[in-house]
Structure 1
Amino acid sequence: MVKKVLIVSNSSDLHADLVVPILIGKGCTPFRLDLDHFPRDYELCQRFRQGEWDGELRHLPTDQRLRMSEVGAVWARKPAEYVFRSADLSAQEFAYARQETEQALFGLLMALDCYWIGHPAVVRAAMWKGEQLKRAMALGFRVPATIVSNAPARVKAFRQGVSGDIIFKSMSTPALAADDVAEEQRLVSGVGTTIVSEEMMESIDAVGELACQFQEYIPKQYELRVTIIGEQLFAAKIHSQDDVRTMVDVRDMTAEIRYEATTLPADIAQRCRAFVASYGLQFGALDLIVTPQGEYVFLENNPAGQFLYIEQLVPEFKLLETLADTLLREAACSRS
């Protein structure tokens, strides 16, 4: 049986938009499940009978169908809010519909015995920043001195024990959940990694409301984004210190700093691979710092991170094609 590729994402995902034609060009038409159109534009069926199981998805606008027995590889990219055929559901009806949809869909997908990039259970287990730091240390990485606490006195003591500056860095999202509320309800659009000033320390009692993460500020020679797809590793050197806007937080994409391909020392590459593999992940996007003294410091891993911008800035990295080839190869090797 020829195995197929299932892509689970949303209709605004440019990564999926670009991988689909690559797969088609290689002879595989994937089935794309856009969660922001589900279940409105899809039909789902899962059956259990006399010891046998089967399931099917159908995209109603195109009549494209996918039997679960045909799936050899799944790329789970990005979540989205479900949408229903009725636009006038009450609050309780909508809440119940979301819960039942979650059960129906993931009861189907999680039953698949195939290759996954981004298995939801694995990604969730790998997303916790505090656990990542502990795991990275166990693998031999240096990590920044860090405290996560809602005890102001402990944060003050941490600050006094660090010889240089400390930073505040959100553990969940630098957008501070602005994307999760209506525009008129947003207080701020977000806060990036920030050096904590003495003035900010005067208001440190505010952390009594919410546990926050503080770290020692690590001086940088440059930064690294290490993308792992299957067996392939791509290391991008980021010259973040070339522009004042990216010296503390490299995520300011308005700064036209240099990104270039680089080769990691063998031991660092091995640690990166081991870190990703330790979760059972097939994808990882790790952020590292290289200090002026040449020491490598682990910051975090993004188990479902963005990577298109890396290919755009380092064109010799064929990340989209590597991902497509990995899905196709593993689908062909999947269990029949």
Structure 2
Amino acid sequence: MNHCDAFDYWGKGTKVTVGAKPPSYIYPLHQCGSGDSRGDISLGCIASGFSPLDALSFKWNDGNGNALRDLHQYSPVMVSGSTMMVSHITVKAADWNSKKSYRCAAHHQTLGPGKSETLQKPDQPCRLYLDVTLKPPRVREMFIDNRAVLECIISGEDKAVREAEVTWMLDSVQVTDKITQIGTEKADQLFRKSSILTTNNWEGGKTVKCSVQQKGGPTITKTLSFGQKGTTKPTVSIQTPSPEDLDRKSEFFLLCLVTGFYPEEIYIMWQVNGGKYEEGITGELWKTGDQYSVTSLFKVSKVDWDNGNMYNCSARHASEKEAQIPSHPVSKLTGNSMECP
């Protein structure tokens, strides 16, 4: 006996796609903080594991069942072999803060309504995460003032940034002086503040740590090493272009070659006629065995070169605690410099 009535399970005239699957899960998202400048809060839903790829759409309702029309729905994508789709809406922060609820539902074009999730402001505030960046010393200050200026930048939500506390450590010893605090300011959609440490004691294996304690969250620590015990002094030399390039071009680059140093932290500057230090274009480090090398370029006009200007390249490295390591100066008369170990 044949049972054709089994096909009526989907209803007469319903098209069934072979391999159609509803989402395996739907995950609610809500914005931390008090909202944007317009007083709005973003809510979202992520659905995953459905098929086919173009089968899903989202529907949003408020707590009274009223449909919300101002929703955003993004194109589905494949992530690690699974389908994924995102939708979000914007609601008034005042409504969200008053504990109004919202429902996000995934609707399959073949299988109909599927999983849904309700979003409502939690009783416990969500953790506001921070981003911390420790900027290395500025080259010019290292050369001219023999001091390292390090900036620890904290960015994130306003409240989290304001409540974050910064601690500086130099070789595992807490530093409490020569620290400048820059107050919270808005940068794009986030807030930021800085703590700046100035130290004259940076050579010879120093390690600096900036630790940021989040209120109710983990401590974020960033580390920068100025050098380690056991250093190798670099050799510094300047290479000039070929005579043909010097004759044909109105401007060209001198090349400073700094080789054979350890550790890798190094700072390179240029001088013209013994004047103020100027920055060149420093390239990427490369390593040969246990030692590093790097190049720096400095643009020179043919007029200045023909006038006999003298050019010098100097390196500052942990192997020398007090002085720069200079090259022999070059000019039109001297040609390429010899290596200065």
After TM superposition, the score normalised by the length of structure 2 is: 0.18
More helix by share: 1
Query: Which protein is bigger by CA-based radius of gyration?
Result: 2
More strand by share: 2
